[in-house]
Structure 1
Amino acid sequence: MCELLAMSANTPTDLCFSFTGLTRRGGDTGPHKDGWGVAFYEGKGVRAFHDVDASSNSRLAEVVQTHPIKSEVAICHIRQANVGDICLANTHPFKRELWGRYWVFAHNGQLSDFRPSPGFYEPVGDTDSEALFCDILNHLRKQCDRNDPAEVIARHLVELSQAYAGQGVFNLLLSNGDWLFTYCSTKMASITRRAPFGPARLKDADVIVDFESETTPNDIVSVIVTEPLTSDEEWDIYQPGEWRLWRKGIVEARGMAVSGQNAAAGH
């Protein structure tokens, strides 16, 4: 399986600390050595980096770790290949345009026999993940409108996610730059950092950061991951079937998708 990392913040924030922890799991402290990618939203644009090398020894990953690219939404993925060759075309996160915005997608899991419905969007590579992304966008293009609020889009995403999870493991990160949708099929965790800020230590690298010196009292920064990245903070563990809609570091809506019943609650 792969590992996911996302950030939602109310102010442009760099991902250097969390990204450094995740990259160690790409071939050093973890087996996810089959490439990595990260996408940072900057306004309506996306700055993306992809590499087929293991993130733990990628020179490009070193650049991202040490260059503080600031963003309100970022999505990252380290890959352990199970479907598709190890190549750039199969490296997450994937990006497509819909309704005048770039949508970015990353997936942890496997639906080995998945076949997307024919539609406008087609995969470039041969992973089940990219096929799922195209299937999601084709459904949204048919069933929704560009002016639909995020909560309406989220309802469709919950239904689709539940259907996919019924066919295999489906842990999802999806954003259009305004909001971030997350769905947990098996494993996911999050943490929201706000004042008063304190220090944190990575599990996978000998790195400590004092967030108080890096932030302002008004900052809200949430990090969503497959496995907690720090050893001295309390992470909020998702339940299987749980979904959350994030915007500017806050959960705006959340719920459970279990046994065909979608329960939503505002936050």
Structure 2
Amino acid sequence: MITLTSVELNAWLAALLWPLSRVLGLITASPLFGNSAVPVSVKISLGVVLTTIMAPALGTLPAVDPMSMPGMLILVQEMLIGLAMGFTMRVVFAAIEMAGEISSLTMGLGFASFFDPNTAGRSSAVSQMLTLIATMAFLAMNAHLVLLEALAESFVSMPISATPMAVGAPLELARWGGKIFSTGLQLSLPIVAALLITSVALGILTRAAPQLNLFGVGFPVTLTVGFLMLGVTLPYLNMPIQNWFNQGIEASRNIGRAAAARTPGRPVLPAP
């Protein structure tokens, strides 16, 4: 007859719940796995499979009852770590979406917006096109597999512990979030610069010929120049997007390293 003690059951439960919370946090926040089109059952099944595969890298777990308050705090901390790692890749796609929004507004396509199921809001046509291109590039360079590799490495660089994560992890995440604006502007800079020159030329033309209808001529010209520049710059966005993905994966690793710098001698959880 097989008998199991409560200590063994708690150890098995902790070995599943704590890493599963980190894995599900990354799946929920990452741009590809966390897509709203993916069913919840598929996300949970994928999380359980990944947790089973990564179980040998867990190391020694804290001797804490997972159903106690300290165990619940560990669960929340692991989920926050997974969400932070997935959010770093979400920032990459947010920067690309911002580049599309800036280009659309400059071209005069701010009114051509569609419903975006990922953000449950409105986004422009150019923004959605760039997002689809970035998603295909994300899959083509196997960045989703590298992200899962970074997740597995996080269990080695930052094992599950009852001590709190360092303050450097939220600061690193905040600094990385600021990249949305700088990178979005850099990606849309060729189109914005071309449309700025076009607007200046139209202004000079209007001064030279006041009888010219600026609203009747300016909008088609601006729209045409915007689409031409978009077609010219798309082949050259390959390397910037790949570098941006590499920086996002490295940032997810830095989040784990920054959180691993725990404060010694300062337990965050009370003893069970």
For the superposition of Structure 1 and Structure 2, which TM-score range results when normalised by the shorter chain?
under 0.3
**Structure 2 length normalisation: TM-score?**
0.22
- Relative CO higher for 1 or 2, CA cutoff 8 Å, sep ≥ 6? 2
* Structure with greater helix share of residues: 2
* Structure with greater strand share of residues: 1
